[in-house]
Amino acid sequence: MDFSLDEELTMLRDMARDFADNELIPRATGHDRKEELDPALFGMLAELGLMGLTVPEEYGGAGMGNLALSVVLEELNRGCASTGVTVSVHNSLVGAPIRRHGTDAQKAEWLPKIASGEAIGAYCLTEAGAGSDAAALRATAVLDGEEYVLDGNKLFVTNGAQAGIFIVYARTDPEASKSRGITAFLVPKETPGLAIGKHEKKTGIRGSSTVEVVLEGCRVPKENVLGELNRGFHLAMDTLDGGRIGIAAQAIGIGRACLEASIKYAHERQQFDQPIGNFQAIQWKLADMSARLDAARLKTYKAAWLRDRDEPCTQASAEAKLLASTTANFCADECLQIHGGAGYTDDFHVERLFRDARITEIYEGATDIQRIVIARGLLAS
């Protein structure tokens, strides 16, 4: 058993780390305050191969896997969680299902655009009445000749403002049970009947776009069905197995930024005529943060390793997301506590880390849902 990264992954990690240090960290506060990403970043990320990291080389991608993506996402999110989630969704929730379930024609059309960053990807599953209960979605797709007509509203769509391609889930068989009769569709941004609605004002990850997508008589050809007709819920859950690994890596990156900021402050801050890092109360906080982060990283790497081998990873990805997201919030809380009153102001970026960490326990499956998934796996064994 080898716990070290090989030469290729080490070089990839170092490249992503340098990019985070030189390009993301200097921009992160601006992204948060302006509530948008610097558009120049998309070209930079694509040039480095990070927009198509898991896209096969034949389609212009790097041809790497989920472990490589996890390594990269930790580094990017350490620098800017808004950038990190943008890259995660683009790769794991859009690029991956097209690669895994798309037809040859769909792959040929969209994977090169995803790899180059020409088309940013967005994932449209959540609705007002369909959050944790995703199978309760009410958006419809009705066959009319050679086209499907989509109607409905999707909420909390990450990347929606910049997206060139949307994966939309809609009900194609209203008579089927909740988890059946749902189909996934590829919907280009220029499709008539697709419009961007409300832009959400968020507590954290403010630089990433989160929008409502409105579908009113939105027509797409039958060829735009992704995967099997009426099997979209299965496709969505398979996709989320990979997406949860990405969010676990995001959470580790945020938690690591908290630990690094805490170590720095423990050296600098003087109280009682000595650095606060000399006090056991601070040392124990740092130790707990480090131990939890290392455990979360190992679990995330295992889940990614399983997915790269097409082995069952539903329970492992849920465990990774559960452990990493709770760890990120633990680290953010301890980091702010170490910084004291200064950490509660925007003079330090720890308050942003505190806000960014919170969403990792909510999206792509809330913490409570991860526990349900894990328990079901245990009881079924």
pLDDT the model gives residue 1:
78
Q: Is residue 2's pLDDT more than 90?
A: no
Mean pLDDT score, 274-299: 98
Computed over every residue of the chain, the mean pLDDT equals 97
pLDDT at 381 over 80: no
Contact 126, 138 (CB under 8 A): no
Q: Where on the phi/psi map is residue 126: left (φ > 0), alpha (ψ -120 to 50), or beta?
A: beta
Q: What would the two tokens of residue 193 be?
A: 């009947």
* Residue 353's pLDDT band (cuts 50, 70, 90): very high
Instruction: Please state the rounded mean pLDDT for residues 64-93.
Output: 98
Residue 211: partners with Cβ closer than 8 Å, 6 or more residues away: 157, 160, 161, 196, 197, 198, 199, 200
345 DSSP β-pair partners: none
Is residue 299 within 8 Å of 323, Cβ to Cβ?
A: yes
Query: Cβ of 379: how many Cβ atoms within 10 Å?
Result: 7
Per residue in 190-242, pLDDT (tens digit) is 999 999 999 999 999 999 999 999 999 999 999 999 999 999 999 999 999 99
Adjacent-strand bridge partners of 211: 157, 199
* Distance in angstroms (rounded) separating the CA atoms of residues 70 and 53: 10
- How is residue 181 written in tokens? 């009769």
What pLDDT is stored for residue 247 in this prediction? 98
Per-residue model confidence (pLDDT) at position 252: 98
Would you state the pLDDT for residue 53? 97
Hunting for tokens 């707990």 — which residue is that?
288
pLDDT tens per residue, range 119-154: 999 999 999 999 999 999 999 999 999 999 999 999
**Structure-token pair, residue 95:** 């690029």
Q: Which of 23, 74, 361, 364 is catalytic?
A: 364
Q: What is the pLDDT of residues 79-93, one digit of tens each?
A: 999 999 999 999 999
Give the bridge partners for 147, in sequence order.
144, 221
Q: Residue 178's pLDDT is what? A: 85
Predicted pLDDT at 177: 85
> Residue written as tokens 């939309």?
168
Q: In the block, which residue shows the tokens 């949307």?
A: 166
**354 and 338 Cβ atoms separated by less than 8 Å:** no
Instruction: Give CA–CA dist 141/129, Å, rounded.
Output: 17
Task: Domains for the chain: give ranges and CATH numbers.
Answer: 7-120 (1.10.540.10), 122-230 (2.40.110.10), 233-380 (1.20.140.10)
Q: Is 364 a catalytic residue?
A: yes
